[in-house]
Structure 1
Amino acid sequence: MAINEDIENRETRERGVREQLLVPQEKDQAGQDEGTDKGHPWMVYFSTFVAVCGSYEFGTCAGYSSPTQDAIVEELSLSTAEYSVFGSILTFGAMIGAITGGPIADFVGRKWTMRMASAFCVAGWLAIYFAEGALALDIGRLATGYGMGVFSYVVPIFIAEITPKNLRGALTAVNQLMICAGVSVSFIIGIILSWRVLALIGLIPCAVLLFGLFFIPESPRWLAKRGRQKEFEAALQKLRGKDADISEEAAEIQEYIETLQRLPKASVLDLFQRRYLSSVIIGVGLMVVQQFGGINGVCFYTSNIFEEAGFSSSVGTITYAILQVIVTAIGAALVDRAGRKPLLLISGTGLVLGCIVTALSFFLKVHDLAADAVPILAVTGILLYIAAFSAGMGAVPWVVMSEIFPINIKGVAGGFATLVNWFGAWAVSYTFNYLMSWSSYGTFLLYAVINAAGMVFVITVVPETKGRSLEQIQAAINRE
């Protein structure tokens, strides 16, 4: 009975919060954005810059192995199997980071969690730099993978919790942009630098992040959840500007936090309770769609795909690296204007078309038809696929994940969704070569079907979160 009363009370409060926010929404339309009256959120931009250094570090970790493979194998006399372990163990470290990152972020705060992730990455890079054999390489790679997994959760969550709703989508999408930048830069400079020097380069974003964390506030929503009222108000004021009126936003956050704290503390099993199930289906479902549509298979083996199609692998891969950064930047700029769902649907359409065009190129090659068209179709299909993924499916699921979970389950649910994401990354990258051996064009047709199913999921299940506060999003989901 007590739990039912809590749930009813929560729903009543959420309806009240939603009704109270109708007036602020009208203010937003008049050009006075949430929490920024008479203030300027420069601290939001600076805090986001500091946080996305973790995203860039994520990218340097992911992009390290591709340009360094031949040099590491030659210098340390590694077998193919030993280097395969070195490459793949990153994903296992990231899975562990995904499992533990959420609860740690809820316990010690978002800033200390980013410090911890940076420490693991620093230790990992140093282990790789000083490595004289496979064991040190693997330990270093596992450590950087763990830090990368934690960053993949805590950075978008932190950004979503500090930004006003009119900026949240674009600034959260910068997370994916910086990941792409880290991967692309590592690939390009890795062609020039030695693998040990490239490992030292990986320390730079960690150093910037650790230094910057001294100057930015903790997440106000996390402080409110921990009952640190004065620090909560001070952090929110610092983020919104010293002359900004934060009373309305602070009251909204505080009321919602108090309502959620009346409910029992969430565990993994609680995620499947009715009141959380919609959020979990949306957040986890988008991660499934993102990964099982084939992105890691395509990205990890881009060079091989171009070679098999008879196109220059170096030209194709560098073009891919530049293209994904440009398109991701465009997507980040549009996510708060176009909305989350339109970008996901445009992205999904491009992914399906890219897979079909690539499948057609391999079908023609297998059946010795139109040989001159095979490289052109392969390049067109892969670049269309990468551009489409970068436009929406790469960044938007992380944006929505950071928005969709109630704060009392955000650690557990975010960790679970990130774990699913990394499991999907491993599964797709592991099975890609087997699928290509089975049928090269069949592989891309399979990915086309999965991406088409993902579009159906977005249309029928995923809500539009553009222009809503985190509290409004929860009220809408629970009402629905």
Structure 2
Amino acid sequence: MEAWITPVTKQCLVTAGVAMNVGQFGLVMSFTAVLLPQLRRRDSTIPIDETSGSWIAAVPGFALVLGNFIVPSIMGKYGRKIANIISVVIVVIGWLSIIASENVPALLIARLLQGLSMGMSTSLGPILIGEYTSPKHRGPFLSTMGLSMSVMTLIVHTLGLYLSWETTAIVCAVISFIDLIIVFFSPESPSWLADQGRYEECEKVFHWLRGDFEEENELKRMIETSQLARESKTEANIAETSFGNRLKRDFVYFNQTIRKKEFYKPIFIVIHMYMIAHWGGINLLSAYTLDTFHYVLGDTKYNTLMVITLDIQRIISNTAAIFIMRRVKRRKMLFVTVIVNILALAGTGVYSYAKMHGLLAYDSIIFGAILIHIHTCSVVTGSLPLPMVISGEIFPMKYRSLAGGISALFYSLNFFLTVKTVLFLFRTVQFYGAYFIYAAVLTYCLIIAWKFLPETKDRTLQDIEEEFKGNRSPEDLKSAQSLKSLNGTSA
């Protein structure tokens, strides 16, 4: 029995709980492609127009911001596990609220709850998996978040072809409840336990996840770093007991912190990584699937077949990405897949423009289908999972909660912008114009990545942190104080 219960097996288990929670993004977004077409029917019990439909699709973006704001405090003060449990509970309530909805306002409230959960999970997921898993397995484990999104998307799209949106929502609620069980029985993050000074528990959980002997150096460095930070914070608290002094100290320290490159540089990089994740076109492919088919393929009877084959291809591409990530450097994989993504967006834009203006000497549905599949493959192989992977690797431990929360605000902003503006762009600059804009944004982000993104494959989180810090002495490290006193959180 115990022969197969290895550290890798345990890491698979805890990663599954986190990845399923982040995969709620796939459930929530793809549910829009099921919900809106059914609500547009004349016999719908909840009639909608284009405006209300766009708000139903995009309103989770508002709550995403709130989720980004509150999750650093929760996962810093109460732990990563508690934050993960709260996130899953909220999304379960959101699905139950959708099932009970009888009008548009009720649907909007339910979608807000889902967005709140998504905001928490997108901030927490990469951090938690990065802290749970071994450096040599961290990339593939982090990429399971993208795979989870693809699997969830296939489930919802398939169910939506044959079932009502209410029944589909019931299935989604069951999936979320299963995830809640997995998360409940997962351990706390060893990094958070170390940050709290609970070193015996930290060692116990670390050995349970990683084995008894294999990665002792990482554990030792984690505890030593935490001890230095806690000692300096204790000394500061003793020296400055009044509220005014502590407030002044916190202001000075925050002003100093935001100037440190190990704080702002990872945030700057991840902001652009999140732009790649959304402007690569994933929201077009998930939330406006049939609209994309209409502009690229025309009015065809093969839409059902395209939905299924596209979602299956997403899963295959995501699975391939996990194995490729074990062998290929992060930077190389990012550049190759995003360049293909840019070419697919530009190629699809040119094709749809020529199709719309009758410039094609010969046209076949197969051309459009190939373009859509190339676009999807490039997104789910690199543009979507790699930003998640990188965001789980480059934040320093001391600032991980706050930096992750700040970066996730831009994740939410890009999510909202790409979802809310789709129909507006289709009306103003046309479908091909929207694709050209997406390609331009990706090109800009790739230039930023080329200039600033370090290689992170097979490196410990502590090594990556030291690269951002540069040459810093132990005394400099000890003098740094925790941001916990600013907002009640710890990194």
Q: How high is the TM-score relative to the length of structure 1? A: 0.85
2:282 equivalent among 285, 295, 300? 295
Is 2:453 the counterpart of 1:462?
yes
Is 2:93 the counterpart of 1:123?
yes
**Number of the residue aligned with 1:323:** 313
Shift of 1:414: 0.8
Identical-residue share of aligned pairs (%): 24
Letter in structure 2 aligned against 1:317: V
Aligned partners of 1:55 and 1:151 also within 8 Å: yes
**Number of the residue aligned with 1:284:** 271
Mark the runs of 5 or more structure 1 residues left unpaired by the alignment. 1-37
Instruction: Report the 3-state secondary structure (helix = DSSP H, G, I; strand = E; otherwise coil) of the residue aligned with 2:23.
Output: helix
Shift of 1:240: 1.9
Letter in structure 2 aligned against 1:280: I
Aligned partners of 2:140 and 2:325 also within 8 Å: yes
Q: 1 CA distance for matches of 2:185 and 2:287?
A: 37
Compute the RMSD of aligned alpha carbons: 2.4
1:79 equivalent among 44, 48, 51? 48
* Number of residue pairs aligned between Structure 1 and Structure 2: 442
Q: 1 CA distance for matches of 2:415 and 2:23?
A: 18
Q: 1 CA distance for matches of 2:63 and 2:398?
A: 26
CA deviation vs aligned residue, 1:155-188 (integer Å, no higher than 9, x gap)? 2211110111000010011011101111121111
CA deviation vs aligned residue, 1:399-429 (integer Å, no higher than 9, x gap)? 1111111122111111121120121121122
CA deviation vs aligned residue, 1:405-456 (integer Å, no higher than 9, x gap)? 1122111111121120121121122223333332433332232222223322
1:133 equivalent among 94, 103, 127? 103
Residue 189 and residue 472 in structure 1: after superposition, are their counterparts in 2 closer, same or farther (change >3 A)? same
Letter in structure 2 aligned against 1:233: E
Comparing 118-127 with 285-294, greater Cα deviation is found at 285-294
Q: 1 CA distance for matches of 2:390 and 2:224?
A: 23
**Number of the residue aligned with 2:464:** 473
Q: 2 CA distance for matches of 1:180 and 1:380?
A: 19
Residue 112 and residue 427 in structure 1: after superposition, are their counterparts in 2 closer, same or farther (change >3 A)? same
Letter in structure 2 aligned against 1:118: V
Residue 402 and residue 45 in structure 1: after superposition, are their counterparts in 2 closer, same or farther (change >3 A)? same
Aligned partners of 1:97 and 1:150 also within 8 Å: yes
Shift of 1:189: 1.2
Letter in structure 1 aligned against 2:213: A
2:354 equivalent among 349, 364, 369? 364
2:13 equivalent among 40, 43, 46? 46
Comparing 422-431 with 338-347, greater Cα deviation is found at 422-431
* Greater RCO, 1 or 2 (C-alpha within 8 Å, sep 6+): 2
Shift of 1:91: 2.1
**Number of the residue aligned with 1:237:** 207
Is 2:348 the counterpart of 1:373?
no
Residue 272 and residue 318 in structure 1: after superposition, are their counterparts in 2 closer, same or farther (change >3 A)? farther
2:341 equivalent among 328, 348, 351? 351
Comparing 43-52 with 344-353, greater Cα deviation is found at 43-52
Aligned partners of 1:304 and 1:313 also within 8 Å: no
Q: 5 Å matches for 1:306-455? A: 306-309=293-296, 310=298, 311=300, 312-370=302-360, 372-373=362-363, 375-437=365-427, 438-455=429-446
Q: 1 CA distance for matches of 2:436 and 2:361?
A: 20
Instruction: Report the 3-state secondary structure (helix = DSSP H, G, I; strand = E; otherwise coil) of the residue aligned with 2:101.
Output: coil
Aligned partners of 1:356 and 1:381 also within 8 Å: no
